[in-house]
Structures are given as C-alpha cells and as structure tokens.
Amino acid sequence: MPLTFSRRQFLIGPLALTACQFPFATLADTACKPLRGLVILIDFPNLQRPFQKHFPIDRFQKLSRYVSEMSYGKVCVEFEFTDWHQMPAPISEYAISPANLKVDKSRVVRLLQDAIDGADKAHDFSRFDYVAIFMGARFKDYGMVGLCGYPGMLGWRQEIVFKTQGKGQVVPNGIAIFTASAHLGTLFHDSAHVWGGVVNGKRRVPCLYDHDLQEQHPTIADDFAAAMINMGYWDPMSCHFYKYQQPPPGISSWTKLRLGWLASHKVKTIEPGASNEVLLGPLEDETSDVLVIRIPLSPTRSILIENRQPIGLFDSVLPAHGILIMHANDDIAECRNGRAPVKLVNANPTTSYLTGAAFDLPGVSEYADPKSNIKIKLLEKIGMSYRISIERIS
C-alpha cells in the first residue's frame, strides 16, 4: 500500500515540529494535487546498509511535509516503497565522479536500468508520477550524495525513455537518485528537477549553482559554496542546505513560479515605466495579499522581489532576512560560465556566498538598476511586511 502523509502529520526524528513552529500547520486541509512517487530501495553486494529499517520512510516523510509547506498545501506528495533488492554488481561498478561535468553517463544508465528491473515484477509504474532510487550506500561509496538521472545528468531530451527489460514498463517522467547521506534539501533538489519537467528542451527547474565552478569545487570539502554565485543559501536548488544539521531553507519565489506553486493573484506585476508602492508580505505567509513583485523588462527578462522572514522552520535557517531582488532571464537554460536563469542582487558584496544579499531597514534599503532605469526603495517595515516603492529613474 502507498505510504501517504497529510498536512496534519508532523515530521519525526531530528526535524520534529510543533504547531507553533509552523503557523499554517493547524489550517484545515484543502484540496491538493497528488504527486505519486515510487521509491526503489537498492542494496549492493558486500556493502552493509548504513541505517535502520525505517530510515528511508522517515526521509521521504520529511520531503512530503516540506513540499506541502512550500506549495501552500497545493501539492501532496505520496510515496510507495519497494522491498529491498540487491543490485547485480558491486557499487564500485556504478560509482561516479562528484563533479557533474565529469560523470560517466553509462554508469548512470546502468544503475537506473538495474534498479527499475528489480522493481518491475511487483510494481505497476503507470500508477506513479516519478521514480526515486534510494541506495543502501553512502556518499563516499557512490561518489555523489544525490543526482537527477533525467531530466538532468543524461540531458533533458523529452524523448528519453527508460523501460524495464521484463514487462517493458515505461518509467514516468524521470528518475532521481539518492544515497543514505542525502540531506532533505538534496531530496527536494533532485526531485524538483523531475517535477518541473522539460519545456522546449529546457528544464523548468535547473540547478542554480554554476556547473563550471562545481567542477572545480564538487564537494563541501572542496568548498562547494564557491559555486553558489547565483542564489547562495537562499534556495535549495542552489545550496541544498545552509547548515547540514538543520533543515533546508525555503525555496525562492522564482522556483515556486517555475513549479507552479505561486498563485497568479499573489504576484503583483508593475510595468517598468510605472511608479508604484506595494506592501510585500513574507513569502512563507500565504495570507499576505502580495507574495512577490514582478517587473517585466522584456518578454523573457524580469526583476523579481520577495520578502524572506523567519517564519516556520525552513526560512528560520536562512543566513539573514529581508528583501531579495533577483534578475530573471528565461533565455538562459542552465547555470554555466557565470550566466544563470536567475541571479540575486547582492546588497552587501563584502559578505561571502551572498549571505548579505538581503536589503533591509535599517541597512541597505535602495537598489538602482541603470540598465532598466528602475529604482527600488524600502520605505517602511510594518510587522514582517515591507512597503516598497518602484520608480522609473529619469
């Protein structure tokens, strides 16, 4: 039977929550879009599983709750778990480089094929929206903590199809791969690649760290944060987590928009030639009238403004709080060579890894963009909301 979690269920283990930590936890359940995942549990010859029996269930229960909060209850993730089955080869024959650009894709293909073949007999793949592979192995055994097989590591061609060799079942949409070392932020990061899908050959939800810099800094030990030049610690699509022993940060408005989790009436659009004042509420507070300000600059470029405050468990672990200003460019598909589909404006460039990116009162409260002739100014903080002016620079 599928293991499902409702909005009223709290997480267990180190991320245990109380209703006071989540101000929306006591709201009545609302209709939500179900997202069904099949978790294939795999072992390897001569490798002892590094965790207790219920560890994977606990990890994906946390992911279910994270998605519920980030989507304002619009998405309910349900997981079904296979029995453990052993892969036909030792993990050394599947292991890959920790650098994305150096991964041997043939090893990823072999892992995916052997894993889905092991689940073929007992599970109907057509009942699910995506597949996650969870290994009885650690990062040090495999080479990466987690990754998206496709759309991702094997490219984002819409015609990629994986079929089981027995029944010929087609795997739906995509496959994410995780080791036992995967943080909750990693589970979300690589699952979101699949959930976002592919449009016109581009992933809707790509990695937000720079892939070329990640090749030079592929792990925490190699200063992975040096690759986080676009969104820093403000979105798990960039950082996975801020501090390993804490939950991941909430996702940015850009990622919520790409996933379809932000209602259009919560987005205030201001044309660049207009002057306006807007009261912008915290991104985590669904009751706010405005959750994001959008200033279109062209059919594919815009400025996004969001308000990140210590509401709930996830945005409480951000490096700071305040107003984030982002430049979005839909013409750019992936983060390569310093270019990205979304980039933070850094309010305080003297801090490392964009930890000082937030504008605030008191503090850095104005931003002028000479290219678009737009000036953004924080006028007043009211509770956790900000009154913001957007003006055309004459």
Q: What is the pLDDT of residues 29-80, one digit of tens each?
A: 457 889 999 999 999 999 999 998 899 999 999 999 999 999 999 999 999 9
**Who's near 31: CB < 8 A, 6+ residues apart?**
none
Residue 28 has pLDDT above 70, yes or no: no
Residue 20, phi then psi, degrees to nearest 5: -70, -25
Mean of the per-residue pLDDT values of the chain: 90
* Pair 138, 179: CB distance under 8 Å: yes
For residue 375, how many C-alpha atoms fall within 13 Å in the half-sphere facing its CB? 9
Tell me the mean pLDDT in the region 205-219: 96
How high is the pLDDT of residue 155? Answer: 86
Residue 15 has pLDDT above 50, yes or no: no
DSSP character string of 2-43 = -EE--TTPPP-GGG---TTTSTTTTSPP---EEEEEEEEEEE
pTM here is 0.91
Collapsed DSSP state (helix, strand, coil) of residue 234: coil
C-alpha torsion angle, residues 309, 311, 314, 320 (rounded to 10): 30
For residue 208, how many C-alpha atoms fall within 13 Å in the half-sphere facing its CB? 30
Task: Specify the pairing of strand 366-369 against strand 374-382.
Answer: antiparallel
Q: Extract the tokens encoding 203.
A: 């992933």
Q: Extract the tokens encoding 19.
A: 């209703």
Amino acid identity at 59: R
Task: Specify the pairing of strand 175-178 against strand 130-135.
Answer: parallel
Of 7-21, 151-165, 257-271, 295-309, give the lowest mean pLDDT range.
7-21
* Pair 334, 207: CB distance under 8 Å: yes
Q: Extract the tokens encoding 58.
A: 């606990």
Amino acid identity at 135: M
Q: CA–CA separation, 171 vs 338, rounded Å? A: 34
Confidence of residue 158 (pLDDT cuts 50, 70, 90): low
Q: Extract the tokens encoding 49.
A: 């599983």
CA separation (Å) from 152 to 120, 191, 205, 248? 23, 11, 10, 21
β-partners of residue 43 are 86
Q: CA–CA separation, 191 vs 206, rounded Å? A: 11
Cβ atoms within 10 Å, residue 59: 23
Walk across the sheet containing 366-369 and list its strands.
276-280, 385-392, 374-382, 366-369
Task: Give residue limits of the domains in the chain.
Answer: 3-205, 257-392
* Pair 6, 31: CB distance under 8 Å: no
Residue pLDDT, tens place only, 241-286: 999 999 999 999 999 999 999 999 999 999 877 779 999 999 999 9
* Pair 281, 384: CB distance under 8 Å: yes
Confidence of residue 200 (pLDDT cuts 50, 70, 90): confident
How high is the pLDDT of residue 16? Answer: 28
Rg (CA), the chain: 21
Q: CA–CA separation, 147 vs 191, rounded Å? A: 9
Helical (H) or strand (E) element with 189? helix 184-196
Estimate the share of the chain in helix, then strand, then coil, as percent rounded to the nearest 5: 25, 25, 50
